[in-house]
Homo-oligomer: A and B are copies of this chain.
Amino acid sequence: MRPPTLRDVALQAGVHPATASRALNPETRGLVNEDTANRVIKVAKALGYRPNPIARSLKTARSATIGLLVPDLTNPLFPPIVRGVEQVLSPVGYSAWIVNTDNDLDRERSQVMSLRSRQVEGFIIATARLHHPLLEQLHAEGVPMVLVNRRLADGGVPSVTPDDAAGATMAVAHLTSLGHTRIAHLAGPQDTSTGVVRLRAYREALAAHGIEEDPALIATCASWTEQEGAVGLRQLLDSGADFTAVLGGNDMLALGCYDVLEERGLSCPQDLSVVGFNDVPFVDKLRPPLTSIHVPHQEMGAEAAHLLLDMLQNPGRHPRSVLLPPTIAVRQSTAPPRAHTP
């Protein structure tokens, strides 16, 4: 049996489909006599009527749906962000269409086009790079969008990100307070705001602590993965550079450090202190528990969703960006340096 349509409801209630539409839509219910409205509603319920959002979208060019672009759901940073987004959208009747780009720009482009043709009303984007033609174009076209976690070089695009500079500064301060002076950094990809800002803040924090910068202590990683973190640390160790602590650009890079320490028979924190960034789930249970810069993941997602909804409701209003303050979670991966370096 075909599911009932608006026409069925209207027929049954003895009104015109247009009237039934008005009665059933809270936005337009005021236009209709209260009694008829109630009658229609009752019939709709009796028939088990479910409005067809596809037909509605075709007519209205809206969809109560937003697109959520994530680089990689298997990175534990992102599921909590997704959850934050859903938590805000769902009470107002919106849904998120989640897509994984796998850090592939072509894939991302085709997914964005597909989402647009499905009439998503806006985007929440966790895949931003500093220069990102696709996203810049979307923004130029006036497509409502909010960046999360990472920003574009163009600060005019609204975003919700951790205060990366403050976080890196805290990390360095923590290490210096333990007595470290030779602090290395595994910088993330320099085509991302997080990679660039954290690196810059690391440098400035060293300077602020009167520590001279040593380029040999910086390795730049090509992606935010455990593998790349391992590559970076191996490179630093093999260069013969002398350091007692390392700041990972994020937790995945720090995880890669753990792998290298293991393979080299070094121990953390005795031989090397390690600090991560993001404090994603489970790093508190690693061996050893990872000291990391904590950022409120779920709140990032929730705040991004709020911003986007706000933009959808007030198309004129000037877009804001939000910087969320991090905190440091000190755990056993950091300790004072040994008298003799490794």
Contact = CB atoms under 8 A, between A and B. Distances in A.
Contacts of A63: 54
Contact of A80 (B53, B74, B80): B74
A119 interface: yes
Work out how many copies of this chain go into the complex. Answer: 2
Interface string A230-265: 000000000000000000000000010010000000
B117 A53 contact: yes
Contacts of A79: 73-74, 79
A287 B99 CA distance: 33
A245 B117 CA distance: 55
Contact of A117 (B51, B100, B285, B289): B51
A98 interface: yes
A74 B285 contact: no
A250 to B, nearest CB: 15
B286 A118 contact: no
A119 to B, nearest CB: 6
A82 B73 CA distance: 8
A133 interface: no
Contact of A73 (B50, B73, B97, B117): B73
Contact of A83 (B54, B55, B100): B100
Nearest to A255: B285
A55 B57 CA distance: 9
A86 interface: yes
A257 to B, nearest CB: 11
A319 interface: no
Contact of A58 (B58, B73, B281): B58
A32 interface: no
Interface string A103-125: 00000000001101111000000
A95 interface: yes
Nearest to A280: B282
Contacts of A52: 58, 117
A76 interface: yes
Contact of A287 (B58, B76, B289): B289
A269 interface: no
A288 interface: yes
Contacts of A73: 73, 79, 82-83
A101 to B, nearest CB: 11
Contacts of A282: 76, 282, 286
Contact of A285 (B54, B80, B286): B286
Interface in A279-318: 281-282, 285-289
A41 to B, nearest CB: 17
B100 A97 contact: no
**Residue of A86, A282, A288 most packed against chain B (CB within 10 A):** A282
B95 A114 contact: yes
Top 10 A-B pairs, shortest CB-CB distance:
A287-B287, A73-B79, A74-B79, A282-B282, A98-B98, A54-B57, A50-B117, A54-B58, A285-B286, A58-B58
Given A54-B54, A74-B76, 8 more contacts: A52-B117, A54-B119, A73-B73, A73-B83, A76-B282, A86-B100, A255-B285, A285-B287
